Amino acid sequence: MAKVRTPTIFTTPQDAATAFYRAFEAKDIDAMMAAWAEDEDIVCVHPGGPRLVGFDAVRVGWEQIFAGETKLLFRLEELVVLETVGMALQSAIEQVTVGNDPAPRGTAIASNVFLRTPSGWRIVLHHASPAPTLTIASPAGPLH
């Protein structure tokens, strides 16, 4: 007899965000997809990647990322959170480390949008892009 999986109920957007990043670091596709809303209007954009729309497309995208050997770890900085009764937005700078090397290897700017569903809070959008390298303008000239 097949075991019925009871979905985790994330009681806050932060609970869903924590589950998302833990699943990412563990390369656990089932845990990753449990953090997402089961909806055809979910959207995911990985740095440098295409826009993935729908549950199946988002899952395939994560499966491709998880197929690699590289273990990624995330430290979120400069977190901004906006929350309403049924929707929440999280914007963060992701400091990405690889394997056991504690030095950040890359930086991404990430936006995560969460929706309150009958099964608790779930991700409906993840969009990450490489953070630009900032240069300091000379005092003599404008930035534009």
Digit-coded pLDDT (tens) for 94-133 = 998 888 887 778 899 999 999 999 989 999 999 999 988 7
Identity of residue 9: I
pTM of the model: 0.84
What band does 138 get if pLDDT is binned at 50, 70 and 90?
very low
Q: Given a cut of 50, is residue 54 above it in pLDDT? A: yes
Domains of the chain, by residue range, sit at: 13-128
Q: Phi, psi (5° rounding) for residue 117? A: -115, 175
Closest CA to 17 of 118, 109, 131, 122: 122
Q: pLDDT value at position 70?
A: 83
Q: Average model confidence (pLDDT) for the chain?
A: 88
Distances (CA, A) of 21 to 14, 33, 59, 74, 96: 11, 12, 15, 7, 11
Say which CATH topology domain 13-128 has: Nuclear Transport Factor 2; Chain: A, (3.10.450)
Closest CA to 13 of 88, 86, 124, 74: 88
